[in-house]
Chain A
Amino acid sequence: MRILLVEDDSLVSDAISRGLIGSGYVVDAVGDAESVASRLSDTHYDLAIVDLGLPGEDGLSLVRRLRRSGSSLPLLIVTARDGLDDRINALDLGADDYLVKPFALPELAARCRALIRRATAAAANEIVIGGLRIDLAGRRALNEKGEVLELTRREWSILECLAHHSGRVVSKERLTQAITGWSEDISGNAIEVHVSRLRSKLGSAATVRGIRGLGYRLEDA
């Protein structure tokens, strides 16, 4: 996996490069937005990490330019600006994720992993959480051993809904809405029953964590 790092601060650039190389990535670092185009033309990258505060053309403008040229390269923004407006702006322009400085290297590595996986899975119309592979097109879920899980329609709907919001808490109401296509009258207790059955079927591939008063979250086991 090859990552392009666009960061002008050498202290940060050096550390990120070393950190990501340590995590098994190949990293090319450049110091300004102008040299990005030539890099992209002759090398395939799986991800670009872009600092917003670059000398010359800034990161936001680079993101806009890349997206206008039709590039689907996953983009992770790192910046010292953390205003909500900045964040929304960057995501609206086509960035895939946003990380505010100062961050911890493991978090950066995790975000990179997630972005790359998401890009790969999107191409295959799959969602991968831990050992669980959810094949959206085939409407089936496979565990870490590659076995297809036997799920009822309601269990599948719940899993699909949770997977679409993986890493986030999904409320019971939302899950209820996801399955009311089959039944108009479903109680919160019924959801609990379905979730508990789903949980046992997922086994060690992934787990559904119940969060008191809020809902459920699909997590790596």
Chain B
Amino acid sequence: MAERKRPTSVHRRLLSYLLAPLLLLLVAGVAVDHHVIVSPIHSAFDHSLSRAALAIVARIHSRGDGQLDVNLPPRPPLPLRAMPDEHFYYRVSLPDGTTVAGTPELPITPDTQSADGFSYTNINFRGQLFRLASYRTSETGDPLIVTVAETPARRDRAVHRLDVAFLINDTVQMAAVLIIALIGISISLRPLQRLSRQIAGRPAAALNQLQTNEVPAEVLPLVESLNALLGRVRDSVLSQQHFLANAAHQLRTPLTGLKAQLEVLSRETAGTALQERITLLQGGVDRLAHTANQLLTLARAEPSAHRASHFTAVDLPHLIGEVIDSSLDRAVAHGIDLGAECEPVQVTGVYWLLLEVLNNLIDNAIRHTPAGGNITIRCGTTDQRPFLEVDDSGVGIPVEERDKVRERFYRSVRSTNDGSDGCGLGLAIVDEVARVHGAHLSILDGTSGRGVRMRIDFPAAV
């Protein structure tokens, strides 16, 4: 199987599409800048080199015999002196190539016939690069060529420094552009993030429509088709619930008739051989009735069947009082001590669903607790989360069976105290209702060391 590709992120794509061209632009920008500054810097340094030639010319005196006297001190002043890491050479020569003063090996630039008499060139002299300037002049009377040469270290340093400055400047600009672009992308992706938060924050089974205001136009068709889909799913869930409710409803009246007829029959045939068979029939009808009731409850416990308006503040101690009122007689009849330990606590919930939950839990507890046992219903708060639990001293549920008992129609092999068995929907209802309330059902060991403790932890109140 092909490895699942990581989902492409709009963020990352935009970023990569921006980053590559921006980097190219940066390189190109620095190159252009370098090109633009090199020639003005060179002409500035050439100009300074020409000043050196002029300074030498100023110190040439023509002696009367036509001989020239170049009067340079041992340490010439700047600009004639080389910087510590530089070399500076000069040569004063005649047009015929005769050297009058300076370094005779120094070459002379070819005459470019420039208006100011200067001509420049780069040479390799004594193994080093030199910038060479020759000045052709007749200031002292006879034509003379004054040639000066310096190592180009200073001008190279200047160009280099400017290059670095441009690079830094351009990089900072690019980074700023990138940051601005990223912020822009984030801001414009915010409606998408809101939308995905809205979808992620919904309860898993919620089928209500997504809000379309504030959804950007580009995503609106997506949200609208999602809403249409949700609508269709909701309709089908509702019609299924409707069908189940109707079916269970329509079952009830004939079941009542059957039950009542069998009871009358049982009374009328008391003491005859028919009694046993009638009792069997009664058991069957009771199971059928119980299943129909549980199915109806389960259908109505479906999360999508509930609107926010069905949720009210439910006082758990009051709920427990209510359920005990209706279960006490059965507990007493089975010789079970039914009690409660209530701390004042409220949850937000659907009252009758919570009533069904507690009824189912107590019903289970009574069926699986032998005479002389006890059942304790507790409510309270742990870590600010309300809880409701039913703790019995009955036969318990083996750990490996605890997940299965939540499944619909799962039939446990554990013994019941009256031979009756449920339809296998009780805990499915409890589990479903817990989910409707964002609560969690845990099946734990009973606190007495025997039995089972069914605990529902509700979400912390907001």
Contacts and interface: CB of A to CB of B under 8 A. Distances in A.
Interface of A: 9, 11-12, 14-16, 18-19, 22, 53, 78, 80-84, 100-106, 108, 167-169, 171, 209, 211-214, 217
Interface bracket on B: 35 or more
Interface stretch (B88-96, B125-133, B218-226, B337-345): B337-345
Interface of B is mostly: helix
For the complex of A and B, 7 pairs with smallest distance between CB atoms: A212-B339, A11-B257, A15-B260, A80-B252, A213-B340, A12-B257, A101-B256
Contact of B289 (A22, A102, A108): A102
B267 A22 contact: yes
Contacts, number: 99
B376 A213 contact: yes
21 contacts: A9-B256, A12-B256, A15-B260, A15-B263, A15-B264, A19-B263, A19-B267, A22-B267, A78-B256, A83-B352, A84-B352, A101-B253, A102-B255, A103-B259, A105-B260, A169-B328, A171-B321, A209-B332, A211-B339, A213-B341, A214-B320
Contacts of B321: 169, 171, 214
B340 A101 contact: no
A212 B254 contact: no
Contact of B253 (A14, A80, A83, A169): A80
A104 B262 CA distance: 10
Contact of B252 (A11, A14, A15, A102): A102
A114 to B, nearest CB: 13
A20 B260 CA distance: 10
Contact of A169 (B257, B259, B325): B325
Interface in B247-284: 249-250, 252-261, 263-264, 267
Nearest to A99: B256
B410 interface: no
Nearest to B353: A84
Interface in B376-394: 376
Contacts of B260: 12, 15-16, 18-19, 105, 108
Contact of A103 (B256, B340, B376): B256
B253 A22 contact: no
Contact of B339 (A11, A108, A214): A214
Given A11-B257, A16-B260, A101-B256, A212 B376 contact: yes
B229 to A, nearest CB: 30
